[in-house]
Amino acid sequence: MLSLVTTPQDLDDRFRETLAALPAVARRRDPADPVSDDAPLTGAQVLDLFDAQVTSRQLDLAGRWLRSFGEGFYTIGSAGHEGNAAVAAALRPTDPALLHYRSGAFYCVRAAQAVVGPASTADPESPKSVPQGSVPPGSVSPDPAQPTERSTDPERLDDPERSTDPEPTDLQPTGAEPPIGGFAPYADAARDVLRGMVASSQEPIAGGRHKVFGRADLAIVPTTSTIASHLPRAVGMGLAVERLRRLDSAGRRTGAGARVGSGSAAPWPPDAIVVCSFGDASVNHASATAAFNTAGWYDHAGLRIPVLFVCEDNGLGISVRSPEGWVEATLRARPGIRYFSADGADPVRTYEVAAEAAAWVRRNRRPAVLHLRTVRLMGHAGADAESAYRAPAELTEDLERDPVVATARLLVDAGVATGEELLARYDETGWQVRRLAEEVLGEPKLASAADVVSALAPRRPVRVARAVADAAAQASGPGAGARAEAFGGKPPELAGPMTLAQSINAALADGMLDHPQMAVFGEDVAAKGGVYGVTKGLRDRFGAARVFDTLLDETSVLGLGLGAGLAGMLPVPEIQYLAYLHNAEDQLRGEAATMQFFSRGAFRNPMVVRVAGLAYQEGFGGHFHNDNSVAVLRDVPGLVVAVPARPDDAAPMLRTCLASAAVDGSVCVFVEPIALYHTRDLYADGDGEWMAGYPEPGAWVAGHVPIGRARVYRVGSADDLTIITFGNGVRMSLRAAAALAEEGVGTRVVDLRWLAPLPVADIIRESSATGRVLVVDETRRSGGVGEGVIAALVDAGYVGAARRVAAVDSFVPLGPAARQVLVSAEAITDGARTLLAR
């Protein structure tokens, strides 16, 4: 026996009382007619929106019910925001959407628009059907070439030839059944949401890892942020959608649609727009400010970004009020972003304005914001007692603006349905939602750590190695002519020994040739060629569409990369200095690294982030240009962190990162030691031993560097001491090893190369070979890489001697004072002697 919905009783009771008090329908209106004079929606379409809103409301009630006996784990609902159903109806189902957590009604409508595909994840072979009166693709969404909007804006999109809507006709007697539809079109969406609430492993997008709105077949990208960190990604998606529609697979401009990679189609239609929703409190967040500013900046520069931001404004951020008028003033003031507004309690006007906004963005390929005024019912979440910070009169006022009641009142006033009929639909939907809730309760949960992390960061090293081999075959075969042309007739393998910077530059060029969808961008990377010249000449070779400067904001740089990767590109953004990454690190942690984890690989954002970092710069210091901390990177699950020390490692490691991003969707951070960019010598001035030749394509396979494999240098007998290090520490340790060799000490110098994942097997093998380990860590003693190395030794049962030489827990000061806190070759030598004396 199904039990009754019990919470929150007051909202349910109020809804029932209001519908029961609605006046009787004097005359029926044909549901196929406009719901009111000149309305852009028919009665049947508004009834569909009502059913979507009711489904969302019943899901909120079910979430509270599940939580009441410990079977539900998420109670943030959409009650009061159901007006976003009309926003979904005004868009195309192929418009990618990034939705915040009050988007239940939007999700229901989008699911009903998907007329092709499985009916549920439980029955993948069952086709969907669209009952009469539901919202199939195109039935509500307007054609941007012939919009149906009404606007007083000077750039209105009205059709002057539009005919007058017919008068309603009396085709049905009072009490007759309204059009069918009801819950059926929204059953799949309801099941998805309920599975997320109970953390079912059969939930279609995150598989029980989180409750999100997302499904690949619905073009809904999951967002896990409760604030605004998904907005920069939305801007990146918009920029990528517009760029891809103008480029063919070779990077040339074309009038046709975009193709990326090896002939794979772009994920969305060329005229798609990106929609991104968020709450009013989020307009104050730095990520939102970055996104608005970037969209406006590009618009001002003449570049097109077709993004529709939807700010759902209920006036509250948990308990903190948005000052009256602040949200509108803030959104209106954003340069380059067109402002639209509507009341979410008016479904017809919301649809009308949303359709106008979507058509404007689609036609002009420019950003806009829809300011949708909503209310918040049932508090922020299940544990939120609104009475502690809101007056009873204010709560009552919000109840009066209940959008589901408003839609019901419209339907009754129009003669489409009676209050009793709508209440019957409400109860039927409630019963169906409760039935589904009890059904999904018995579904399996994630039962092991392996299950949880299986979608985190897939690693297929054989396929990555094969991709490198394919690139080599292409570069030496069919692509040899294009490669020779790109390098001006002198390929890098003929240029003689190279520095680290030169090797990276050549590898980037080869990467651009191998990956037509690859783009290099960041601050100063194009015309200037980077602060250190690492990207010099790339724009001239590959054009401004593939190598371009961005505005000076790291959050936006990474956001552009996130969106571009999601859209099918292979982005290689540059962060100018490691210290600058910290103000944008959540774009890596909360957005980039979580995408595959929370979508089970249905979505991915491949990316190789180049970061100039670490310390030891001569003549240009201070902690913002000499940052020796990578702890924030090593802490991110699934993130690949590479640190090339030598030119002959840099190129193969970069090729590996690009291949891993393309094959596995990996997010890689390529930390380039600034102090080694232009270093030429190792032991003595003029010896040139820190330079290396660039390998010809035929040698790429033999020189392939898999992720998580170290490099070992043997000095002397190599039997007495193992030094484990990376980056600048490699050069210093080799110099120290040479000094120790003169004293008869044989040393193995292990260059980790990969800080995440650490090359644990290599660490254990090389440490066990000597029984004495000196960890040379140029990062700080607390939270540094050395801690991870020592922990790996302990976990493996290593019983030999071990010691660390690490930087002091300090920021790097300016000038000669830096030497007081950083590791030196002398400190390494002294540490080795102390260890050997034990």
pLDDT < 70: residue spans in the chain:
1-8, 115-181, 225-226, 247-266, 619-621
**The pLDDT value given to residue 626:** 84
The pLDDT tens digits of the residues spanning 591-628 come to 999 999 999 999 999 999 999 999 988 766 677 788 88
Q: What is the pTM of this model?
A: 0.88
Question: Per the residue annotation, which of 81, 230, 380, 625 is the catalytic one?
Answer: 625
Q: How far apart are CA 729 and CA 727, in angstroms?
A: 5
Give the list of residues 6+ apart from residue 13 with CB closer than 8 angstroms, or none: none
**Look-up of token digits 């520095």:** 499
**The pLDDT value given to residue 11:** 87
**The pLDDT value given to residue 256:** 29
**The pLDDT value given to residue 126:** 33
Token pair recorded at residue 717: 């007998």
| Helices (runs of H) and strands (runs of E) counted in the chain | 26, 24
The conformation of residue 205, written as its DSSP 8-state character, comes to T
Give the list of residues 6+ apart from residue 117 with CB closer than 8 angstroms, or none: 127, 128, 217
**The pLDDT value given to residue 666:** 96
Nearest Cα neighbor of 268 from 715, 581, 566 is: 566
Amino acid present at 811:
F
**208 backbone dihedrals φ, ψ, rounded to 5°:** 90, 5
The answer to whether the beta carbons of residues 784 and 627 sit under 8 Å apart is no
The answer to whether the beta carbons of residues 414 and 168 sit under 8 Å apart is yes
**The pLDDT value given to residue 247:** 66
**Look-up of token digits 């080869």:** 510
The answer to whether the beta carbons of residues 563 and 569 sit under 8 Å apart is no
The pLDDT tens digits of the residues spanning 76-131 come to 889 999 999 999 999 999 999 999 999 999 999 999 998 533 333 233 223 333 33
| Mean pLDDT, the chain, integer | 87
Whether 625 is catalytic is yes
Q: How far apart are CA 402 and CA 398, in angstroms?
A: 7
Nearest Cα neighbor of 642 from 706, 701, 689, 583 is: 706
**The pLDDT value given to residue 165:** 35
**The pLDDT value given to residue 387:** 77
**The pLDDT value given to residue 380:** 85
How many other CB atoms sit within 10 Å of the CB of residue 336? 18
**The pLDDT value given to residue 225:** 67
